[in-house]
Amino acid sequence: MRTLIQLALRRPKLVIFAWITMLAVAAPFASRLAGALRGTTDAVPGSPSELASRDLNHAFGKGSAFIFPAVLTSPSIPTTDPRFASAAASLERVLDSAGMTSVRHYWNTGDKTLLGRDGHSALLLVRPTAETFFDAEVTVEQIRKAVRGGGLSMAFSVKVTGMVSLFHDLNVNASDDLLRAERIGIPLTIIVLLLVFGAPIAAGLPLVMALGTIAITLAILYALSRIMPVSVFAQNAVTMVGLGIGVDYALFLVSRCREELSRGASFPNAVETAANQAGHVVLVSGLAVCTGFLALFLVHIRFLHTLALGGVAVAVTSVLMTLTLLPSLLLLIGEKLNWPRQLSRRPRGDGGLWARWAHETMTRPWHYLVPSLIVLVVLIVPTLQLKTWNMGARDLSPAMEARQGYELLDRDFAAGWMGPIAILARSRDDGSVRTKESQGAITEITSHLASDPRVRIVGGYPSDDGHSALIFVVPRSAPESEEVMAMVRELRAQSWQSARDAGLSIQIGGLSASVLDFDAELFANMKRVIPVVLAVTFIALVFAFRSIVVPIKAITMNLISVLAAYGFLVYVFQKGIGAGFIGLVPPGGLNSFIVLMLFTILFGLSMDYEVFLLSRIREEFQRSGDNRKSVVSGLSQTGGLITSAALIMVVLFGSFGFTRLTATREFGLGLAFAVALDATLIRVVLVPILMGLLGRANWWFPAALLPRGRRARRRAGQDAVAYPRRFRWRVG
């Protein structure tokens, strides 16, 4: 770290030129990322649904697991009119020429279930050449382009929908949401920075750092998209985190520089001191952010790994820019940093409001601790009632084609056509499914399903080689509904005794099954992700602060922030409390993906303020050895800055809470609430109280873990941090 800082201080123009060159190279690639994004879900490798999809494609041909429903409608022409049949045949031809494997409709199958109840709509089932969900997603625009060029008369319209199309359209919506949030968040951030610094140049530097960090990271994501799937959520998460930590890190360093200037330091010395002191905070915080993202590799979902790499890239880039580019820019700008004002060079007084607040909380800790704990309990308790919710077509904008197609399916056919349940019956040892025993077992299964009130249509057919049979089930409800999810669970729990007796194996596939496996993978691996993040963060903090108690307290406080954020989201998005104030129709639960991402990201972001506060407390404690004095001094110097930094993050993240996608709103509001709570109730209330109550124990550290020189100083009684001789075991 010190080597990088010294390079920036000695060769500022070279460092600035290197970063400008890097940004110039990255910008064109960053701008291309939107065109390379793909959906936010995929089959979990090795899961039952993934195996079923793979076997289905093998038995019936590529794309059999990813059928696109396309709804052909005409307000003025009934389906009995020959022109309707001609329009369907025309679509079949253009889709065949576009490379689709097959197109099934009423006029080439005789299947009346493909005609709409209104008499003015027909369903075409388009099978692409695709082996995976991501492959199928790439063909959405290909299908729509072919349909638009099909030469249909103005009397007809076609809506290509289905779950694959839904996630494709989700990308478009999410990208629009990102731009909308940036248009709100960035101007508000500029206003807050101007209020904090009172100088336009000082206020602009943190935003420059954040935008530069995002540009380079998006370029890295674009490069990764050539070899790995990059989801739209990776773009959104990287942008949100990049804006948050980019502004925060730069804010810490610029503020420390201005503080040193106000003490009378020369400008070069102020920059050097600020870079060295704030650099420690930035490095530890960046490590915490990286740890949260790297833990995503414990989850066996490919697009999460790309998101993890993007998160690591944004943290590393932000740290490097803060430690090198920012000091170089400060040296180049010089005294103009504070234009149009001049900082008053005044000695430190009593610390003002924050110092008085620290004294108050440590003098009467229980007056503030008990109410704070009650508030936190009220926020955390709803976490025990958390329910999962999965995105569906209703979460898209009404202007999106997949949403419009879904509404036509729900009205004239069945919502289950968005993603039918696939039951694959395979004969063991390459036998035939056409035997009397096999046919009897398959008939028994279809009859049982047809009698289920949740089912609209049951159909099926054997494979060309006769070794497999497909039974497809079209539920009345949408694939993401709890009704259909419960049905898939029941089908998986069935013993299928008659099928087994006939020598058949049964697999349950389809999009609903994939979503169930996706949720199961996420929640099951949180049991590994959370301990790993906690353990790595604890070790990093132990060696950063030479303490055991301080890291335990820091981790506990961060966990409280995350749990309180979950509770807040349960109140709003599950119970609907306050949802009307933000124009939200509560979905009735939290998305499993959002639950995981909130933990991994919030844990690192919350560490910003913890490390910043504790570093200043430790810095003072090294000078005085007085726990009370160090807490008061640390909070008086950082309280205002922490509040300002948190306000910026709340503005940035909160702007995502007023977009159109429910999942993005969950993520943005969850982050905004957690940061606001963390920087107020936790950092400026609980932390000073606990630091006062714990007293000398805060800085206990096993002698065996100290470097040899530090051990010698401890034995000599010269190490204030390792052995705080002057502090008594008392509160206040």
Beta-ladder partners of 155:
none
Neighbours of 559 (CB within 10 A): 17
Q: Which amino acid is at 444?
A: E
Q: What is the pLDDT of residue 380?
A: 96
Q: What is the pLDDT of residues 90-130, one digit of tens each?
A: 999 999 999 999 999 999 999 999 999 999 999 999 999 98
**For residue 124, which phi and psi values (nearest 5 degrees)?**
-110, 130
Q: How big is the chain, counted in residues?
A: 732
Q: What is the pLDDT of residues 24-52, one digit of tens each?
A: 999 999 999 877 776 556 678 889 999 99
Report residue 198 CA to chain centroid gap.
34
Token pair for residue 433? 């499914």
Q: What is the pLDDT of residue 710?
A: 55
Q: What is the pLDDT of residues 454-469, one digit of tens each?
A: 999 999 989 999 999 9
Q: Which amino acid is at 197?
A: F
Q: Which of 397 and 670 is assigned the larger pLDDT? A: 670
97-111, 366-380, 595-609: least confidently modelled range: 595-609
Whether 217 contacts 314, CB under 8 Å: yes
> 599: Cβ–Cβ under 8 A, 6 or more apart, which residues?
292, 526, 529, 530, 533, 562
pLDDT grade for 344, boundaries at 50, 70 and 90: low
- CA triple 119-120-122, angle to 5 deg: 95
Whether 277 contacts 615, CB under 8 Å: yes
Q: What is the pLDDT of residue 706?
A: 60
The second-level CATH assignment, the architecture, of 348-385+523-732 is Up-down Bundle (1.20)
Put the strands of the sheet holding 504-509 in their side by side order: 455-462, 468-475, 421-427, 504-509
Query: Residue 472: which H helix or E strand, with range?
Result: strand 468-475
User: Which pairs from 101-104 meet CB under 8 Å and 24+ separation?
Assistant: 101/61, 101/62, 101/63, 101/127, 101/128, 101/129, 102/126, 102/127, 103/127
Query: Would the pLDDT of 716 be above 70?
Result: no
> 58: Cβ–Cβ under 8 A, 6 or more apart, which residues?
none
Question: Measured on CA atoms in the order 31, 34, 36, 41, is the torsion positive or negative?
Answer: positive
73-77, 209-213, 331-335: least confidently modelled range: 331-335
Q: What is the pLDDT of residue 133?
A: 83
Q: What is the pLDDT of residues 689-714, one digit of tens each?
A: 988 888 878 888 887 666 655 555 55
Query: Would the pLDDT of 6 be above 80?
Result: yes
Across 476-609, the runs of DSSP E, i.e. the strands, are 504-509
Query: DSSP assignment of 126-190, as one string?
Result: EE-S-SSHHHHHHTHHHHHHHHHTS---TT-EEEE-SHHHHHHHHHHHHHHHHHHHHHHHHHHHH
Q: What is the pLDDT of residue 504?
A: 93
Query: Would the pLDDT of 394 be above 60?
Result: yes
152-166, 194-208, 213-227: least confidently modelled range: 194-208
* Average pLDDT rounded to a whole number, residues 629-640: 87
The correct answer on CATH 1.20.1560.10 for the domain covering 48-167 is no
pLDDT grade for 162, boundaries at 50, 70 and 90: very high
Instruction: Choose among 667, 549, 565: nearest CA to 606.
Output: 565
Mean pLDDT computed over every residue of the chain: 88
Query: Would the pLDDT of 558 be above 70?
Result: yes
User: Before 340, cis peptide (omega within 30)?
Assistant: yes
Report residue 438 CA to chain centroid gap.
46
- The DSSP bridge pattern shows strands 468-475 and 68-73 to be unpaired
Token pair for residue 214? 């995002």
The correct answer on CATH 1.20.1640.10 for the domain covering 1-31+199-340 is yes
Q: Which of 218 and 35 is assigned the larger pLDDT? A: 218
Question: Measured on CA atoms in the order 445, 450, 456, 461, is the torsion positive or negative?
Answer: positive
Give me the residue spans of the domains in the chain.
1-31+199-340, 48-167, 348-385+523-732, 420-509
Largest CA distance in the chain: 100
Q: Which residue has the tokens 């303490």?
A: 547
CA-CA-CA-CA torsion for 439, 443, 444, 449, nearest 10 degrees? Answer: 140
> 576: Cβ–Cβ under 8 A, 6 or more apart, which residues?
586
Whether 388 contacts 591, CB under 8 Å: yes
| Percent of all residues in the chain with a pLDDT value above 70, rounded to a whole number | 94
Q: Do domains 1-31+199-340 and 348-385+523-732 have the same CATH topology?
A: yes
* Average pLDDT rounded to a whole number, residues 509-513: 92
CATH fold for domain 420-509: Alpha-Beta Plaits (3.30.70)
Q: What is the pLDDT of residue 463?
A: 93
* Range picked from 179-183, 187-191, 404-408, 681-685 for highest mean pLDDT: 404-408
Instruction: Choose among 497, 460, 677: nearest CA to 569.
Output: 677
